[in-house]
Amino acid sequence: MLMTAFGIALAGNAQAQGIPKDAPARIEMYPIPSLTLSDRQFLAGDDNGKPVTVVGELRVAQGSGRMPVVVLMHGSGGVGANIPAWTRTFNGMGISTFVIDGFTGRGITATSTNQAQLGRLNLIMDIYHSLDVLAKHPRVDPDRIVLMGFSRGGQAALYASLERFHKRWNTSGLQFAAYIPFYPDCATTYVGDTDVMARPIRIFHGGPDDYNPVRTCKAFVERLKTAGRDVELTEYPDSPHGFDIGLLGANMVAVAAKAQTVRNCRIKETDGGMLVNAETQQPFTYQDPCVELDPHVGGNPATAEAARQAVTDFLRALLKLS
């Protein structure tokens, strides 16, 4: 009770106390009951997986009443340094943030060098279960929850928009107001993947990205546009994979040593939720010859700032912020 009272007082008196606007009024940690499934189980709708509890960090922005929230999903390296930069940006706008850690509860530090540790679609499961938590929170506006993700988490943020996945796995009664994937992997074609929720999708990517090449996302975006979906892709020059780390001043490119990339793979879903290598028609594995190593990562302060401005402009209009 004391903690709650302090949170309310802080929210109401933050300006008078001289607390920066981008500091949250309070921070709350939540267990998120989820499942660990193979990608085939997820795609087939088979919920006979391993129960797991992952964690979400809710930063309640300064203000009062029910507030908009951005849910953030990390990439293959876990919750990285770029995510606090985004939470400060959103909190400063009066938007609360909910950061999901889908790795620690599963005993994983990173999947970069061994992506087979965890089926990629598990992060979508965690995302949907985060809505179960947020749906019950008295300070959350259920109609103004936005999903944002990075790399592996960007892929999850992109494909969480599929109506098919939403209907099978999202039991919260809520839906996201928009989807904002950053440099996602678009190498996989799922059954019915142009049937997405009637919400805007805004993808941000770097032209020279050789981890998750933008060309595969361009192809998917064209298919979505042909289907009449509200989708846009913004491509930045001189922006390697992870370019938004430039929000912290990083201006560099480095090799992600032994990190796996499917940049030259074409993967598609077939009957029964099987993911196959489109070239060989055999079940896809990370031992396939198309899987390569040592892509590049880095930051670009100029394009990171441009992306931040684009995202904040989009959210101000979408969420009707002053």
Percent of the chain with pLDDT over 90: 94
State residue 6's pLDDT score.
32
Question: Average pLDDT of the chain?
Answer: 94
C-alpha distance from residue 186 to each of 66, 205, 219, 253, 277 (Å): 34, 11, 9, 22, 14
- At residue 103, what is the residue type? F
User: How crowded is residue 304: how many other Cβ atoms within 10 Å of its Cβ?
Assistant: 25
Distance CA 205, CA 235 (A): 5
State residue 30's pLDDT score.
98
Distance CA 178, CA 198 (A): 9
Phi, psi of 264 (to 5 degrees): -110, 20
The tens digit of pLDDT for each residue in 250-286 reads: 999 999 999 999 999 999 999 999 999 999 999 999 9
The tens digit of pLDDT for each residue in 201-248 reads: 999 999 999 999 999 999 999 999 999 999 999 999 999 999 999 999
Phi, psi of 194 (to 5 degrees): -95, -5
State residue 175's pLDDT score.
97
State residue 206's pLDDT score.
98
The tens digit of pLDDT for each residue in 132-161 reads: 999 999 999 999 999 999 999 999 999 999
State residue 11's pLDDT score.
44
Indicate if the pLDDT at residue 8 is higher than 70.
Answer: no
State residue 17's pLDDT score.
65
Indicate if the pLDDT at residue 1 is higher than 50.
Answer: no
The tens digit of pLDDT for each residue in 28-81 reads: 999 999 999 999 999 999 999 999 999 999 999 999 999 999 999 999 999 999
- pTM of the shown model: 0.94
User: How crowded is residue 228: how many other Cβ atoms within 10 Å of its Cβ?
Assistant: 9
Distance CA 194, CA 106 (A): 31
Indicate if the pLDDT at residue 9 is higher than 90.
Answer: no
276 in Cβ contact with 43 (< 8 Å): no
Distance CA 215, CA 221 (A): 10
The tens digit of pLDDT for each residue in 181-190 reads: 999 999 999 9
The token duo for 16 is: 């008078």
User: How crowded is residue 254: how many other Cβ atoms within 10 Å of its Cβ?
Assistant: 12
Among the listed residues 18, 25, 20, the one whose alpha carbon sits nearest the alpha carbon of residue 3: 25
Confidence tier at 19 by pLDDT (50, 70, 90): confident
Mean pLDDT of 279-297: 97
129 in Cβ contact with 32 (< 8 Å): yes
Confidence tier at 99 by pLDDT (50, 70, 90): very high
Indicate if the pLDDT at residue 3 is higher than 50.
Answer: no
